[in-house]
Amino acid sequence: MHYLDARSPDGMRVYAIGDIHGHLDLLRDMHERIAGEIARDKPADWRIIHLGDLVDRGPDSSGVIGFLIAAVARDPRNMVLAGNHDVGFLDFLAEPDPVGLFARHGGRETARSYGVDLQVDNAASLARGHSELAAAVPDSHQRFLRALPRSASFGDFFFCHAGIRPCVALDRQDPEDLIWIRNEFLRYPELHPKVVVHGHTPQAEPEVLANRVNVDTGVFHSGVLTALVVDGAEKRLISVRTA
């Protein structure tokens, strides 16, 4: 399926939001903008899909998770997919690794959002910080993260955090590829059964190619959160920025 030919289901508008990384302020701004569009245009149906990496690096991962728990409870057309950082957070809570993804790439900021000063310099500080964090993270947050699916599909579009393994059927994808894959997917030039909408690999600008769309605009350093909007055959990109 080529991007130019791809469509959402008839009557459905789909918003796909890139990596959030703890930026609750921008997530709220994006939802306000989307709510305004939906109220104005009154599409027959809609979905808001968050492409994972809710946590790490930014200032309020706890707030992002709480916001999305409430959004999904309010209307299940708000959908959230798992990213590798979200899984890494759960992995650290289960077994603290001082050189794992969470400890090395923004986990301290996530811990701080729960009121914990996480130090991983030695075994004693790691054990203490892990214990404090495990006690501070609400069970509801952990249950929410554990239940996140790794993909969704609507019309001619397939949504996941990182990408797919080329030449493997969409319903047979390895769950780890869906949150981790990079080069094999990013460098693949041919069309896929559906257009893949993803994040995971930050770029200065959104990437719109024939076979995929990358909406990860590196919010943790750029201050820009981006979403793809698909309404029938119409496609466009929207962004919100830090003031």
Residue 108 within a domain: no
Residue 228 within a domain: yes
CA dihedral 182, 14, 206, 101 (to 10 degrees): -40
Residues 6 or more apart whose CB falls under 8 angstroms from that of 6 comprise 155, 156, 157, 194, 195, 230, 235
Residue 192 within a domain: yes
> What's the pLDDT tens digit per position in 116-162?
999 998 999 999 999 999 999 999 999 999 999 999 999 999 999 99
Q: Report residue 243's pLDDT band, with 50, 70 and 90 as the boundaries.
A: confident
Tell me the CATH number at 183.
Answer: 3.60.21.10
Q: Distance between CA atoms of 207 and 193, rounded to whole angstroms?
A: 19
**Average pLDDT score, the chain:** 97
pLDDT more than 70, % of the chain: 100
Q: Considering its fold, how many domains does the chain have in total?
A: 1
The SS3 of residue 235 is strand
**CA-atom Rg of the chain in angstroms:** 18
Boundaries of domain holding 173: 12-84+150-241
